[in-house]
Structure 1
Amino acid sequence: MVARWLVFMALSLSCLVSWADEPNDVVLIAHPNVRVETLSRDTARAIFAMRQRTWPNGQSASVFVLPEDHPVHARFSKSLLNVYPHQLRLAWDRVVFSGTGQAPNVVMSQPDMIKHVASTPGGLGYIERGYLDDSVNVIPIVN
């Protein structure tokens, strides 16, 4: 009985590990010159809400996002930042209308996201893992 349970657990964990690297997983990407190994969820949320304008190491951050109605934008907001897309929109509107900042740069597709992040020093964005190439770095989000 214990042996069956261990086999079941091993198979379950292997499924979870393979599921975690699905091509449809959304990942945070950065320009290759960004020297940050990980980002906390709070820091990522602050940068994408346009409340923090620099990386933790002080380098200026240029934020790129997909349109609000893009399904990858919704998945990114909910799964990586733990906020709803409309909450990000409210944060952007607040900094724009108060005159304390600007909204992030909107790109229309994931290939455009890669192109803009890869060509902008300090660039930050997100894509599905299946779109990754060597022109950008993945920055894991930690709790």
Structure 2
Amino acid sequence: MKGEAGYGGLIHDFKNYILRGDSNYLTSLQQKHTNILRTIRKYKRLKNVTKEEKKHLKIVQRVFDKYLLASDEIAQYKQEGLSILEIDEKVKIDDTKALETLDKLSKTIYGTSLSQWSNISTLRIEEWSGNINSDKEF
């Protein structure tokens, strides 16, 4: 998810779309948004996802939904003759919380011992790749 979001990802495409107005950046942004949503849905379906993780996923989704909605406004602002700086100011999105949240999701061990976290993580990876039955208990 972090790769789809940050440098070279959705945020980068969003900024390039503001700067250049090239519809290829909009298309790429839309594809990356779809990939982020798929990853979030897939993550939520994993066994033993905590309420805290679901809360974090909701934060991430809301911010990247804002990028998608704001991207629709950029072409209109360009047609109205607004400068790049004016457009950037109108569609400015604070993504700090989402990026921090992504970092937490990738690094934080929620309320478990290291060995239990390791077991859960291994099973999640196997489940993610389709190598085990997802009914297995931790």
Larger relative contact order (CA 8 Å, sep ≥ 6): 1
TM-score for the superposition, normalised by structure 2: 0.22
Quick check: which has more Rg, 1 or 2? 2
More strand by share: 1
